[in-house]
Chains A and B, each alone.
Chain A
């Protein structure tokens, strides 16, 4: 038993794609015993599987009746199948909850368990489209652009983790779990920053703003790639001092209200300022002058980051292709154990024996 905060907690992942697999990855790292019942093989790519399945016991089950018994032997069940799947298998969440009041069940789907879109087919792209963020991302003169990776599905997993753990704490204290119906569309619709409430309060959709919400809140080409600045009003004087262009002393740039009318001009100055500096130089200037400056770094560059190495961010997963280095603990302060990658079905017999007291392969 590791010393993790979830040591001894039994989690059944009914996989599933990224949402269920990501939600339970953090549970495994923080000490829970996670058993993954395999889903359709196409639900995860090989690279996704290497990242998301490390640290889990993998079983190829099995009769729905056996899966049902495993669910009742668990403390937390996480699933991302189409709504109604569990019920069709004779293990409706309401019934499981009635049989075991302390059980926490999290169902993660693109559109939720009920509602007119509940039966809709979806991929990461279509789930992202329905959440609002997609409409805000990309250049105003081009189509909406999806954010990289599989963000809609990962958001489902992130909230799946946090919601499940919160409900599990509730079960520890109050004695009762719950069934959580997480809709990825709602997760996104609830994180629309200024733009969601503004549209509702003032009317009219918020437009895409490309890489420049404002000149002082944008992304610029620099000598060896791209770098960004995100200055709030309190940091604008420090940014202007750093840029050092005498024109920036003028009231039309200093004043918050007037500046908006001269944004193109200010952008031009900043394009010029960024152009001849490297990302490393810009980051150092930002640090020194307390101006929020960032640089567009690639995963390959981050693998070589001294800062991330010093903080022990990456885990190693042994694969047939060699050692993969992947993001590890999401935060420091609670014990985290990097997981070993198992082959599909490797633990079927052991889990049936340990969880259900059954001998022989299920």
Chain B
């Protein structure tokens, strides 16, 4: 069995909510031992954000939490207490990486800043993922989800174009983007440690990572003082391009025409050979009219059929796949992207595999997200050498817990 790239790497994971857990989910998928540290007083709030009605221990029954915390272990430690903090530092001594996405000032306030960690483990790699970074005048801004794409310039580029309204992406887009970048940062720092023996302190601002995904807009702004217009689903190079209504409720197909030849084939396919000879400037000038001609055809058929007919003649087209249909998408099903895993408190459901399809090492989801404190004994006793009596004392003192204290729905 070929080894996964991060086998042998241990991660002390302080991350919560989404950006950080997305990063450590990737590390776990790539073979690292990820130990998720939560406090009985301050747990990962995604556990309790959308509780299933009428379920006991709802913090252990969240499909939302599960998808971003699979393959990790859970230990609980009250870090604000000196005894909890000391146990965490003992975990750091046995770890390669510490990662956190608290607000910029929190880790230092817990007395767990980089210099403190470094005293306990000379070559520790610390990755901090505050929304706006650890330094600078904006470090105190609180940056959840959509705020990142607003502050990074992306939301200003998103819009239909006819009303001037910027739009948010339908997910908290900045989080998984920062998470993937943080996973890359961990690997880079591990490479350097392998070569030089040095650790690292990575200060990752989620807003900055997000801005790297619209680099050409900064070229345009700095060279020509231009802000790109909202372009709906259109493109500056390709015409026509858009999202077209199909047969059924809220069903759509996306189509792009990149060349005169593709346009000629599309015009034939939709039964409008009279339009086949239009040039790119003509197609741009008559875009609205061509959209109606295309939609007159797509409205009669399902998105999958429209896409297949156009792909058969080499024209880029794909259904707009919703969050339910995507679980039955023929391409993802054929690629065995979805995996149903057993869960001790929930019925099985299809969950995404890692998109990093290493052809030889073949990463596969191994285990459901950990129950709260599920690995307390394994970590505290097995790894840190505490006795059962010591663990019982810590539990009695509220430093280690088996359930969040005063958990309420809504995070």
Contact = CB atoms under 8 A, between A and B. Distances in A.
A310 interface: yes
A170 B158 contact: no
Interface string A29-40: 010000000000
Given A117-B331, A211-B168, A47 B220 contact: yes
Given A149-B157, A182-B357, A135 B191 contact: no
Interface in B247-274: 250, 252-256, 258
Nearest to A111: B331
A132 B171 CA distance: 10
A242 to B, nearest CB: 12
Interface string A324-342: 1111001111100000000
B222 interface: yes
B235 A169 contact: no
A15 B252 CA distance: 31
Interface string B188-213: 11111011000011111100110111
B172 interface: yes
B22 interface: yes
A181 B26 CA distance: 16
B223 A319 contact: yes
Given A149-B214, A196-B67, A201-B63, A169 B190 contact: yes
A332 B334 CA distance: 40
A148 B228 contact: yes
Contacts of A234: 45, 411
A143 B252 CA distance: 8
B222 A325 contact: yes
B203 A333 contact: yes
Contacts, number: 511
B5 A142 contact: no
B3 A174 contact: yes
A357 interface: no
Nearest to A328: B212
B411 A233 contact: yes
B191 A168 contact: yes
**What is the interface residue range for chain B against chain A?**
35 or more
17 contacts: A5-B188, A47-B216, A123-B241, A148-B158, A170-B30, A179-B358, A181-B357, A186-B357, A196-B323, A198-B64, A226-B166, A286-B141, A294-B150, A299-B214, A326-B219, A332-B203, A333-B189
A178 B408 CA distance: 45
A193 B360 CA distance: 28
B18 interface: yes
Contact of B223 (A119, A324, A332): A324
A134 B322 CA distance: 8
A157 to B, nearest CB: 8
Interface in A146-195: 146-149, 151, 154-155, 158-159, 161-163, 165-174, 176, 178-183, 185-187, 189-195
A30 B185 CA distance: 10
A51 B218 contact: yes
Contacts of A290: 142
A114 B337 CA distance: 12
Contacts of A310: 135-137
A147 B158 contact: yes
Residue in A130, A138, A162, A302 with the greatest tally of chain B CB atoms within 10 Å: A162
A187 B355 contact: yes
Contacts of B230: 148
Nearest to A168: B191
B225 interface: yes
A323 B6 contact: no
B158 to A, nearest CB: 4
Contact of A167 (B133, B141, B353, B358): B358
A57 B236 CA distance: 28
Interface string B220-232: 1111111110101
B355 A131 contact: no
Given A148-B157, A183-B335, A327-B215, A173 B326 contact: no
A97 B188 CA distance: 22
A50 to B, nearest CB: 5
B142 A286 contact: yes
B370 interface: no
B138 interface: yes
A204 B327 CA distance: 11
Interface stretch (B309-317, B380-388, B395-403): B309-317
A306 B331 CA distance: 46
A295 B154 CA distance: 11
Closest 10 CB pairs of A and B: A136-B170, A148-B157, A170-B5, A294-B147, A162-B184, A129-B254, A51-B215, A233-B410, A205-B322, A190-B352
A169 B191 contact: yes
Given A129-B254, A189-B332, A191-B176, A50 B146 contact: no
Contacts of B148: 294
Contacts of A166: 5-6, 30, 183-184, 187, 356
Contacts of B301: none
Nearest to A206: B323
B170 A195 contact: yes
B55 interface: no
Nearest to A314: B218
A297 B171 contact: no
Interface string B66-85: 11000000000000000000
Contact of A197 (B66, B147, B180, B317): B66
A194 B223 CA distance: 40
Contact of B64 (A94, A194, A230, A323): A194
B362 to A, nearest CB: 9
B311 to A, nearest CB: 5
A45 interface: yes
A219 B63 contact: no
B357 A112 contact: yes
Given A230-B145, A287-B140, A211 B256 contact: no
A303 B138 CA distance: 15
A320 B171 CA distance: 39
